[in-house]
Chain A
Amino acid sequence: MAAGQIHNYKQYATFGITVAGNATQNAYAMMSQGGSNSSSKSDIRKLEDKEVEQKFGKDFHKPGKMKDIYKDDFRKQLRKNGDKNFDFYLDRNTNEILLKGNSSGKEIRTGDFFNK
Chain B
Amino acid sequence: MVVQSIRLFIVGDLFSLKDFVDNSIFPEDIIIKDKSNVSFDFERDILRIWHPKVYTKYHDDEYEKWYLKFLELYHSKLVQYGADDFQLEYYCFFLKQCNIEIFSSYLIKEFSKFNVSIPFTCVQYSQKRMKELANEYNFGYEE
Q: Which residues of A line the B interface, CB within 8 A? A: 7-21, 23, 61-64, 67-68, 71-72, 75, 79, 84-85, 102
Identify the interface centre among B50, B118, B119: most chain A CB within 10 Å of its CB.
B119
CB closest residue in chain B, given A61: B123
A-B residue pair count with CB separations less than 8 angstroms = 82
Indicate whether A85 sits within 8 Å of B120 (C-beta atoms), given known contacts A9-B125, A79-B85: yes
Cβ of B116 under 8 Å from chain A: yes
Question: Which of A9, A12, A64, A84 is within 8 Å of B119, CB to CB?
Answer: A84
Q: Which residues of B line the A interface, CB within 8 A? A: 5, 7, 9, 11, 39, 41, 44, 46, 48, 50, 54, 85, 87, 89, 91, 108, 111-112, 115-126, 128-129
Residues of A within 8 A of B46 (CB): 72, 75
Report yes or no: B87 in contact with A63, Cβ–Cβ below 8 A: no
